[in-house]
Structures are given as structure tokens and as C-alpha cells.
């Protein structure tokens, strides 16, 4: 099949994709990282459509979308074969774009409407024990100078709030209230939530603000960021990730290389629920839009089920 004229593709597909990305940035307020992911996914979809001779959104058929799912799973378009989870993410971008095109009059229907992502294996979130968390937090505080103070405050705050790494490194000093202990986190879609901060995290952050941050800020031009790197600029997600991994390695945590900031978030939720917290409270703390997302943390072991049954059922024991 001959490829269509490239100028026609630019005029149709590329403008439609650019319009959708502008909509996500302006109307939906998505973050730069999320927009980059959408752009990358839609560029792969665009190349696929061009290869099939589709030059406009209203030319795409349901069979094209279904074939695209198979294509990215197998990598027959020359791209990397994708796992079910990555395929689902890419299909979400495709769904959003086609829905946008239909609403904007660029197409008379949404050909992706009934196309579903491949089934994904259900994996329980990874969490580490409270003892392992404590060892990691202690390891982060080892050493002298402003960096250990920063690292201890960073990890204490991550575990205390269950915040996403992007939310915590994006904090400004004014987002914190150490008395009584609360922080304002800005999550997905620029949604804000106020989360309590425990006493250990408050103490660690206060020590960093008094004895650590001023030294780091002196290396830069000043700014509102709470967590700073050694050049006085806002700490990056990559550096924060490395801080946690190094602390896990020093603490001797099993599979330390697999410990990530999301591990602390998962552990936060799991430990709260194990301690008796209501799932809807945990939902609010995590900033989940739906309680269904939070319910994955409510898994319990058969031993725990037997213990609860024996303790609670009136006829469990003689």
C-alpha cells in the first residue's frame, strides 16, 4: 500500500493530535510528564495509521484500532512489543484522542469506543514491613551535613503522607504546616488534598529546615522548593528515587534494587489498613479518584482470615 502524501497527513492527523494535546494541557491541566507520555503514544499511533493509509481521524475504523492493539503487543510496527499494562495505557491515549475528535467534529463517530485493552495479570502492590521501613528511614539519616538531613526528611515525608514522588518533590516550603502537622499535596489533574503529617516526619522536616536546607539553598539563587539538591535547585524525581534506593541498600533490605518511592506509598496504604483504617479514609489520603483503586490494598492472607474469624465469630470456638 502506497503511503499518503505527507503534507495531507500533517494537515489532518498531526493537527488533530496537536489540538488534543493542547486540550489536555489547558483544559485538563495534565502535568508535563503525562503530556510527554500521551504525545509519545499518539505519535506511534499516528505512524501506524499513516502506514495503513489513514490521513484523517474520520477515516479510522474500528478494525484499525483493534489491529493497532495487536500490533503494539507484538511489535510488528517496528516498535518495542508492549506488555498488557503498557498497551492499556497507550489505548487510553487513543480512546481519548478519538473521543476528542468526535466531540470537536473532526470525525462523525468514535471507532475506538468498544475496543478494550488486553487483560492484565492482577498484581498485588509491593509493600515492605514496618520494620524494614524503619531500617530504611534510619539508613537515610546516617552521616553528617545537610544531605542526610534532607534525605531523612524526604523519606519520612513520603512514608508519613503516602504521597507520590512527584507530589513530594514538588512541594514548596509554604505547603507545610508543621504545627499541627499537615501538608498540601497537588496530585493528578492538579487536584489538591491536605494530608496529616506524623510527628516523626515533622521532626525530620524541621531539622532539615533549620540545619540542612539553608546550607543547600546557599549554593543556588534561592526559591520556594522544599527539597533542594546540592546546587540549590529543586530536587528531581530521579535523585529522590536514588536516595531511597541507596538507603534501602544500606539498610540491607531484601531486593533493595526493587524498592521505589511507590514502595513507600504502597506500604503506607497497606500498614494503615492493617492497623484498622477505613478504606475510604485511605482513599482520601492517597488521592484516588475511586475507592476501587484503593481496594487492591485490602488483600489479606489466609492466616489473617482465620485469626479474624476465630476472634470475631460467636461459634468459631467451643
Which residues carry out catalysis? 164, 188, 262, 265, 288, 297
C-alpha cell at 59: 477515516
State the Cα–Cα distance between residues 286 and 264, nearest whole angstrom: 12
Number of CB atoms found within 10 A of residue 124's CB: 10
C-alpha cell at 69: 492493539
Distances (CA, A) of 10 to 55, 77, 131: 8, 20, 56
**Cross-strand pairs, 182:** 177, 196
The answer to whether 103 touches 125, Cβ cutoff 8 Å, is: no
**Cross-strand pairs, 267:** none
**Cross-strand pairs, 183:** 176, 195
Contacts of 256 (CB under 8 A, 6+ apart): 245, 248, 249
State the Cα–Cα distance between residues 105 and 221, nearest whole angstrom: 48
How many H helices and E strands in the chain? 15, 3
Phi/psi-derived region of residue 107, left when phi > 0, alpha when psi is between -120 and 50, beta in every other case:
beta
The answer to whether 70 touches 118, Cβ cutoff 8 Å, is: no
* Sign of the torsion angle spanned by Cα atoms 68, 70, 72, 78: negative
Amino acid at each position: 500500500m502506497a503511503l499518503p502524501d505527507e503534507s495531507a497527513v500533517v494537515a489532518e492527523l498531526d493537527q488533530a493530535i496537536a489540538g488534543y494535546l493542547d486540550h489536555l494541557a489547558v483544559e485538563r491541566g495534565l502535568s508535563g510528564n503525562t503530556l510527554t507520555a500521551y504525545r509519545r503514544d499518539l505519535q506511534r499511533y499516528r505512524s501506524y495509521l499513516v502506514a495503513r493509509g489513514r490521513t484523517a481521524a474520520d477515516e479510522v475504523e474500528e478494525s484499525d484500532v483493534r489491529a493497532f492493539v495487536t500490533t503494539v503487543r507484538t511489535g510488528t510496527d517496528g516498535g518495542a512489543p508492549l506488555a498488557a499494562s503498557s498497551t492499556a495505557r497507550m489505548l487510553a491515549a487513543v480512546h481519548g484522542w478519538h473521543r476528542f475528535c468526535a466531540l470537536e467534529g473532526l470525525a462523525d463517530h468514535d471507532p475506538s469506543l468498544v475496543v478494550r485493552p488486553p487483560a492484565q495479570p492482577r498484581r498485588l502492590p509491593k509493600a515492605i514491613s514496618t520494620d524494614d521501613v524503619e531500617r530504611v528511614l534510619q539508613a537515610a539519616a546516617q552521616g553528617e551535613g545537610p544531605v542526610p538531613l534532607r534525605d531523612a526528611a524526604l523519606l519520612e515525608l513520603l512514608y508519613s503522607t503516602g504521597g507520590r514522588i512527584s507530589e513530594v518533590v514538588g512541594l514548596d516550603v509554604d505547603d507545610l504546616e508543621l504545627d499541627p502537622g499537615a501538608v498540601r499535596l497537588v496530585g493528578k489533574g492538579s487536584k489538591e488534598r491536605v494530608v496529616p503529617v506524623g510527628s516523626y516526619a515533622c521532626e525530620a522536616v524541621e531539622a532539615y529546615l533549620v540545619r540542612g536546607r539553608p546550607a543547600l539553598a546557599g549554593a543556588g539563587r534561592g526559591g520556594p522548593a522544599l527539597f533542594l539538591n546540592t546546587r540549590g535547585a529543586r530536587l528531581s524525581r530521579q535523585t529522590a528515587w536514588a536516595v531511597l534506593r541507596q538507603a534501602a541498600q544500606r539498610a540491607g533490605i531484601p531486593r533493595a534494587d526493587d524498592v521505589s518511592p511507590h514502595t513507600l506509598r504502597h506500604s503506607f496504604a497497606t500498614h494503615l489498613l492493617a492497623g484498622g483504617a477505613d478504606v475510604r479514609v485511605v482513599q482520601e489520603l492517597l488521592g484516588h479518584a475511586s475507592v476501587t483503586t484503593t481496594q487492591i490494598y485490602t488483600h489479606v492472607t489466609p492466616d489473617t482470615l482465620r485469626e479474624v474469624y476465630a476472634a470475631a465469630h460467636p461459634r468459631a470456638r467451643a
